[in-house]
Amino acid sequence: MQPSPRVDLGQRLLNCSERLIAPATRLNLERIQMLKRKQFRVSTLLFVTALVAMACVIVVTRLELASLRASRSQSGVNASPISVDAVAASVEQCLASHPWSTSVADVRYSAAADSFKVCYEWTDPSDGRTWSSDVILKGNGFGEYSSFITNKTFLNPVQLQVSKDGPTTGNVGRMWVGVSAPSSLADGGNQ
């Protein structure tokens, strides 16, 4: 039996329309999928950008925190209870009784030992040589730092020093040197 020409024509029109519509639909589906991929990529990009920004903020915050902790711990380590200038002036005042010219060359503070290391110099007028030595001023816990100079080369001229009432020191084996922090009561108790 032969199909009727109408059915054949209808079938042909249906096939023709499918051929025309199918590529457009496939094209639209591909475009939609491509847009979905792009949306996924844009959202992923935004998410990754937010993660990187948060990581940067965390790293910067931790670096600043570490810097603050280091500066706080160093300020406690290097801070001396008495200024090094005050220590140098006090030691030079103690050394003023020496017959030769003396001066303080360096002052260092150690928080671990609660002490000052004072380097001092003097010049021997007989030969013009400059000598140097150091003394460690140890703290007593109450703001006073003291010690004795026992350097024989430094003390020899002191033994020979004579005052108007006779020998000042006699046989000197050591010379006291010290410094003390000012009392907090000197300014009315305000620190």
Residue 69 lies in a domain: yes
Q: What is the pLDDT of residue 59?
A: 95
Distance CA 83, CA 142 (A): 16
Look up tokens 């100079």; give the residue: 149
Is residue 47 domain-shared with residue 104, that is, in the same domain? no
Is residue 106 domain-shared with residue 176, that is, in the same domain? yes
Reported as a single tens digit per residue, the pLDDT across 124-162 is 888 888 888 999 999 888 888 999 888 888 887 766 554
Q: What is the pLDDT of residue 183?
A: 73
Is residue 74 domain-shared with residue 92, that is, in the same domain? no
Is residue 174 domain-shared with residue 90, that is, in the same domain? yes
Q: What is the pLDDT of residue 126?
A: 83
pTM of the model: 0.52
Last residue of a domain, one of 58, 79, 100: 79
Residue 5 lies in a domain: yes
Residue 53 lies in a domain: yes
Residue 190 lies in a domain: no
Is residue 25 domain-shared with residue 4, that is, in the same domain? yes
Residues 6+ apart with CB under 8 A from 153: 131, 133
Q: What is the pLDDT of residue 150?
A: 85
Domain range holding 154? 84-182
Question: How many independent structural domains does the chain possess?
Answer: 2
Look up tokens 């990754």; give the residue: 48
Nearest to 124 by CA among 157, 171, 167: 157
Is residue 91 domain-shared with residue 159, that is, in the same domain? yes
Q: What percent of the chain has pLDDT over 70?
A: 65
Is residue 94 domain-shared with residue 175, that is, in the same domain? yes
Is residue 98 domain-shared with residue 115, that is, in the same domain? yes
Is residue 18 domain-shared with residue 98, that is, in the same domain? no
Reported as a single tens digit per residue, the pLDDT across 167-181 is 454 556 778 888 888
DSSP structure string for 100-135 = S-EEEEEEEEETTTTEEEEEEEEE-TTT--EEEEEE
**Mean pLDDT calculated for residue range 5-30:** 63
Q: Which one has a higher pLDDT value, 131 or 184?
A: 131
Is residue 103 domain-shared with residue 172, that is, in the same domain? yes
